Structure 1
């Protein structure tokens, strides 16, 4: 939690510093592509107030993110997701708005580009979030078990070496390829004492089902504790293996 706090605080400070430099020190070269524009365009943009409004947008975004920072220390499960969403909406929406202060001959193009970027970004975020928050279901078949959803797969009972039900999730050290959010961990992570592992975890919802096979270490649970226990007992019965 503290790591997330310091990462987001650093982001806030970067936005504040860049915004302050643009507004107070007229460091317009910090704005993307401003320095490469013809002198006449630079002067027209300054006259339109484009650089100053860009700086104020960054400062406003930073202040709103700063206000939202304490959410990380509350029971609210989606604090990080809300902060990321607010930041994306403010920045992308802000840059669409700033297009009205572009030089007239580039204004339409600016609207099209900024709006297209916003639509694509929101589309990608929606798909990623939808897939990431889908429940992972464990299904038992005749000779194998399957975990559904993103990063899911099918594993043979013969390959299982250990099944255990854990009251506490081991410490997750590093995300290598997956969703690492405040409320869920899904994908490949480094786990203390277990190494590279495949996680389908809702944080704070014990117990956790550990399944070790010849080539994978899997942690999975459900928000419903009884469902996780049922997975454990059914898997033990089908495979004949347990801790």
Structure 2
């Protein structure tokens, strides 16, 4: 089972478990701020329906993530990303309505947290769209942007174009979202390497080094092919001069 699947299943089970503890077992101390409130404030929260609203919200999130996971198993494009977007919309809408059940001071705090969380989510979803660019140097090439790095031509063993890729076994330090795969991964039969994949559409440029590999896909086939031609020419020129 892929590592990402394990994480998704863990999140789903966690949200279902927390909704069970809050809605069925009435363990309201799990809710942020409830345990530190006075007994009178706790009674007011319960009467206003705040704890149950939190429990329902966690249940809704668990259901949404479950549907996204099932659709992903059916190979529906961007299913898990879509479930995250729906989850965030539900989270913010329900969180906003829950603040109406609290006192003015708590409302201000929760709305501030909501705004900061929204800004953080926007940043996280924008990260995969930060561009990477191939730069050709005299004795090395570089992929700029997120997870960028420089590789010397002397370390290259082969440069090829592939129509298909092996399965990713684990993402050790990277991002997989909206069909983009950036960062450090382990590929079946290949070991550890770095991915700069902007699209799942072929071709893919594979640069094999002495102890690793780099996979580059610029998003558009003609752009990936241009990268391949530029790098292959620079590599041949380097070998001719050395």
Quick check: TM above 0.5? Answer: yes
Aligned to 1:95: 95
Secondary structure of 1:101's match? coil
Contact 1:161 1:212 in 2 (8 A): yes
TM-score (ref. length: structure 1): 0.80
Q: Does 1:26 align with 2:22?
A: no
C-alpha spacing 1:137/1:124, structure 2 compared with 1 (3 Å): same
Shift of 1:69: 4.2
C-alpha spacing 1:209/1:89, structure 2 compared with 1 (3 Å): same
1:37-84 residue CA offsets vs partner (Å, 9 max, x unmatched): 322222121122211222222223333444444442566543222212
Aligned to 2:168: 172
Aligned to 1:53: 53
Aligned to 1:125: 121
Unaligned runs of 5+ in 1: none
CA distance in 2, matches of 1:192, 1:5: 16
C-alpha spacing 1:63/1:116, structure 2 compared with 1 (3 Å): same
Contact 1:163 1:210 in 2 (8 A): yes
1:142-173 residue CA offsets vs partner (Å, 9 max, x unmatched): 44322222112333333323212222212221
TM-score (ref. length: structure 2): 0.81
Secondary structure of 1:189's match? strand
Contact 1:205 1:222 in 2 (8 A): no
1:151 to 130, 147, 152: 147
1:171-211 residue CA offsets vs partner (Å, 9 max, x unmatched): 22111111023612101112223322111014531222111
CA distance in 1, matches of 2:162, 2:204: 5
